[in-house]
Amino acid sequence: MMTRVAGLFLCLAVCVIAAPAALLAEDRKPGYPEKPVSYLIPFGAGGESSIAARLQQSFFKQLTGQDLVISYRPGGGGAVMWDEINNLPGDGHSIVGINLPHIVLQPLLGAKYKTRDITPVFIFHYTPDAVVVADDSPFDTLDDLIEFARENPGKLVFSGSGRGSANHLAQIRFDKLAGIQTTYSPYKGTAASISALLQGKADASWGYTTVGMTYPDDVRLLAVATEERHPRFPDVPTVREKGFEIIDGAYRGIAVPKSTPKKTRLALSNLFEKINKDPAMRQEMEDRGFAPVDIPYAKVAEFIKARTVEYLTHAKQVGLGPKK
C-alpha cells in the first residue's frame, strides 16, 4: 500500500514539474521569422535606402532575435533587383527595398518589370527632393544656377539616382517650369550621385534633403521641394518660393515576392510598423532628415494607386515615357 502511495506522489511530482517545462517549450515554439531575413537593397551602399536599412537592422534583432542580413544589388536605378524579385523564395525570409515613384515610372521607360509585379507590404518614410551643389560651387543661389542654364543650354549637368526616379522626374519638371535645358546623368544610387558631384562630374544634383544631413561639410542645398521651408534648413528656400510648383520626393518601403502568403505579408507589415514607431527609431530617422510615415499592408495598395495617378500625370506633362 505504501509503495502504491509513494508511486502516486512521484507520478504527481513529475507531472507538476513537466507541465511548466511543456509550457515553456510551447512559448519557445518558433514563429515568424524562423531564421535570418535577407534584406536586398536595389542600390549601392551609403544612400537613403542603405541608411534606413542599417537603422532598422538593430531594432529588427531586438524584436525578433533574428538577424536582418543586408546586401546590395544595384543596377538600373533599382530596376535590376525589382525585375528579379519574384524569383526569390516567398517564405518571408527574403525582402526587397522599394522606392516610389521609381516602381511606377521605370516601366514607362522600358524596364522589364511592371508595377503590378511588385508586392509592397509597408512604406516607412519619405524624403523631399532638393537641388544640391558642392560646397565650393560657383552657384550661390538657385537663381544663379537657372541663369547659367539659360545662357548655356544643355551644358549644366545634374546627377541623380537612376532613371525613372524621383530625381529624374524632378529634373525634367524643373527644366520645363524654369524654361531651361539641362543634362541628367543617372547613377546607381544617391551615394554614387553625390560622389560624382563632389568629383566635379556634375554641376549640381537632384537629390534629397537627407543629403544635406549626410554630407554637411561637402554640399549646400539651393532649394527644397517642400510646401514650407524644411526645419533642418530654415535658410534654404523652397522651389515653390522661387516660382516653380514642385512639391515632391521619394517614398521608401519593403516588398516581397508575389508567392509570399498573405499571413506572412501581414506579419512583416506589423513587424516593420513596430520598428518604425519605436521612439528611438523615429528620432534616428528625423535626425538624418527622413520624414517617417506608416503605411501598412492593408493600406499600401490604395496609397500606391493614388500616387500612381499623380506620377503619371506629371510624367505625361513632361513627356516622360516611351517615344511613339
In the chain, the number of structural domains is 2
Contact yes or no for 99/166 (Cβ under 8 A): yes
Answer whether the bond into residue 33 is a cis peptide, omega within 30°: yes
Clarify whether residues 117 and 259 are in a common domain: yes
Encoded amino acid at 80, one letter: V
Q: Please tell me the pTM assigned to this model.
A: 0.85
Clarify whether residues 192 and 106 are in a common domain: no
Clarify whether residues 122 and 260 are in a common domain: yes
The CATH number given to whatever domain includes residue 174 is: 3.40.190.10
Low-confidence ranges of the chain (pLDDT < 50): 1-3, 5-30, 324
Does 282 reside within a domain?
Answer: yes
| Confidence at residue 321, expressed as pLDDT on a 0 to 100 scale | 78
The position carrying cell 524632378 is: 170
| Confidence at residue 31, expressed as pLDDT on a 0 to 100 scale | 75
Question: Which string of DSSP letters, residue by residue, matches 187-253?
Answer: ESSHHHHHHHHHTTS-SEEEEEHHHHHHSTTTEEEEEE-SSS--TT-TTSPBTTTTT-----EEEEE
| Confidence at residue 323, expressed as pLDDT on a 0 to 100 scale | 55
List the domain range (segments joined by +) for residue 217: 128-224
The position carrying cell 542603405 is: 50
Clarify whether residues 117 and 50 are in a common domain: yes
Contact yes or no for 135/219 (Cβ under 8 A): yes
Domain end among 224, 258, 281:
224
Does 22 reside within a domain?
Answer: no
Closest CA to 304 of 117, 91, 129, 80: 117
pLDDT tens, 107-141? 999 999 999 999 999 999 999 999 999 999 999 99
Burial-class residue 243 by CB neighbours within 10 Å (0-12, 13-18, 19+): exposed
Does 14 reside within a domain?
Answer: no
| Confidence at residue 318, expressed as pLDDT on a 0 to 100 scale | 87
| Confidence at residue 304, expressed as pLDDT on a 0 to 100 scale | 96
Does 85 reside within a domain?
Answer: yes
The CATH number given to whatever domain includes residue 46 is: 3.40.190.150
